[in-house]
Amino acid sequence: MPTPGLFATPAIQSLSLALDEAALRQQAISSNIANVNTPGFQRMDVSSSFENAYNSALTQLGNGQSLDSLPKGTITTAPNQGPARPDGNTVQLEQEMVGLAQNSAHYEFASTMLASNFHGMKAAITGQP
C-alpha cells in the first residue's frame, strides 16, 4: 500500500471534504434565497447520494483510513419540501437564513482547523512556531 502524501492525511481529507460540502450547501441555499419570489420554485438541497457518500467518507477518515478520491456532490430538489405558498414556491426564507448561518459557521470552523493544520506543518518544516 503506498504511503499517503503530505496532504492526503485523514485529517486534511476530512477538512477538505467538510469545506466542499459547505460550499455545495452554500450554492443550494443561495439558489433558494435568490428564487424566494419565483412562482413554482422547489427548494434545492445537496443530493442525498452525496450526503450518503459524505457520511461514509467521514466514517472511513474517522477510522484513520485515507480515501483515494473524495465524493463529488450535486444539488437537487430537496426531498422534504415545506408547505407551498399559493404560487407553488416551497422556499421559506427564515429557514434558509438559519441554514445560511449554520453553514457559515460550519465552513468557518473547517477552514480555521485546516489553516491550523497547515500552520503546524509549516512550523515543523521551518522549526519556527
| Other Cβ atoms closer than 10 A to 36 | 14
Question: Among 21-35, 60-74, 93-107, which is the least confidently predicted range?
Answer: 60-74
Q: What pLDDT shows up at residue 94?
A: 95
Q: What pLDDT shows up at residue 5?
A: 65
C-alpha cell at 21: 460540502
Query: Per-residue pLDDT for 3 more than 70?
Result: no
Q: What pLDDT shows up at residue 33?
A: 97
Cβ neighbours for 12, distance < 8 A, ≥ 6 positions apart: 114, 117
Question: Among 3-7, 30-34, 101-105, which is the least confidently predicted range?
Answer: 3-7
Q: What pLDDT shows up at residue 4?
A: 54
Backbone angles phi, psi at 41, to 5 degrees: -70, 135
Q: What pLDDT shows up at residue 43?
A: 95
Query: Per-residue pLDDT for 29 more than 90?
Result: yes
- Could you state, in order of their start, the residue ranges of all structural domains in the chain? 10-126
Query: Per-residue pLDDT for 2 more than 50?
Result: no
Residue-wise pLDDT for 92-125, tens only, equals 999 999 999 999 999 999 999 999 988 888 888 8
